[in-house]
């Protein structure tokens, strides 16, 4: 990877990326309220199982396919994958989250002024793009290799979840770093698997996550939007 591509990848994975990711917990807030998550060990279990059951086995492989489609200028393929990802969002909050973040990232790419109309035209053809659709577009446009992009995307998701746990449980900063070190060790294998996982093996089966996200929508006291 070139230094320029690495810098762009760090920008995409940064918690400073102004897309509002820090405002979402993806069900972790309700799990903390319900008592399922209450310390470092249980936070690691919740985040790790969500990572394995939903993110690494569905979202990451879809992102890899999106990058390949963008690289081939296959807008119809991205549109199909975007629709599949939106259909996989099982609650109103999860769907609103990915659409808001996708919109915010697309607007940011436009405001950066680095893409002429010709380069962003394919992205503009995706109606209501989900966050992975726009993120994969940016990574491909900045010549980031798919394997590196997947590792960064997974790290960004993991970091956001751990930081939410630090605030909600609450956990100390050292505990948060322990979780990142332990759970981050799963990323290389997950990224490699996402590149080759057959369509028939894609899975988003995480009923506990869906229930937590549904219950969060009526939770009385909330810090996060999901």
For the purposes of burial, counting CB atoms within 10 Å of the CB of 113, is it exposed (0-12), middle (13-18) or buried (19 or more)?
Answer: exposed
Residue 8 lies inside a defined structural domain of this protein: no
Residue 189 lies inside a defined structural domain of this protein: yes
Task: Provide the pLDDT confidence category of residue 215 given band limits of 50, 70 and 90.
Answer: very high
User: DSSP letters along 68-111, please?
Assistant: HHHHTT-HHHHHHHHHHHHHH--SHHHHHHHHHHHHHHHHHHHH
At residue 118, does pLDDT exceed 80?
Answer: no
If you average pLDDT over residues 81-107, what whole number do you get? 97
Residue 9 lies inside a defined structural domain of this protein: no
Residue 58 lies inside a defined structural domain of this protein: yes
Residue 5 lies inside a defined structural domain of this protein: no
CB-based contacts of 205-210 (< 8 A; 24+ apart in sequence): 205/53, 206/49, 206/50, 206/53, 206/54, 208/49, 209/26, 209/27, 209/50, 209/53, 209/54, 210/90, 210/91
At residue 222, does pLDDT exceed 80?
Answer: yes
Each residue's pLDDT tens digit, 179-192: 999 999 999 999 99
Model pTM?
0.96
Angle between helices 75-88 and 131-141 (to 10 degrees): 140
| Residue 54 lies in domain | 23-216
The structural domain count of the chain equals 1
Residue 210 lies inside a defined structural domain of this protein: yes
DSSP 169: T
Lowest-pLDDT range of 23-27, 50-54, 119-123, 204-208: 119-123
Residue 199 lies inside a defined structural domain of this protein: yes
Residue 36 lies inside a defined structural domain of this protein: yes
DSSP H or E run through 203: none
Any idea what the CATH number is for the domain that residue 142 is in?
1.10.4190.10
């Amino acid at each position: 990877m070139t230094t320029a591509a690495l810098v762009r990848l760090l920008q995409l994975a940064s918690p400073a990326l102004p897309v509002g990711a820090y405002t979402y917990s993806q069900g972790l807030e309700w799990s903390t309220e319900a008592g399922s998550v209450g310390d470092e060990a249980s936070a690691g279990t919740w985040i790790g199982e969500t990572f394995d059951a939903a993110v690494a086995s569905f979202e990451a492989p879809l992102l890899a396919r999106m990058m390949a489609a963008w690289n081939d200028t296959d807008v119809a393929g991205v549109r199909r994958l975007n629709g599949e990802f939106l259909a996989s969002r099982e609650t109103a909050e999860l769907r609103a989250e990915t659409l808001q973040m996708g919109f915010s990232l697309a607007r940011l790419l436009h405001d950066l002024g680095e893409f002429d109309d010709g380069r962003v035209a394919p992205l503009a053809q995706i109606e209501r793009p989900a966050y992975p659709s726009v993120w994969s577009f940016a990574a491909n446009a900045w010549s980031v290799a798919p394997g590196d992009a997947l590792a960064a995307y997974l790290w960004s998701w993991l970091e956001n979840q751990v930081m939410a746990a630090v605030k909600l449980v609450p956990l100390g900063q050292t505990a948060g770093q322990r979780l990142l070190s332990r759970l981050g060790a799963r990323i290389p294998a997950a990224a490699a698997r996402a590149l080759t996982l057959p369509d028939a093996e894609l899975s988003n089966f995480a009923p506990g996550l869906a229930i937590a996200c549904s219950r969060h929508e009526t939770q009385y006291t909330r810090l996060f939007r999901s």
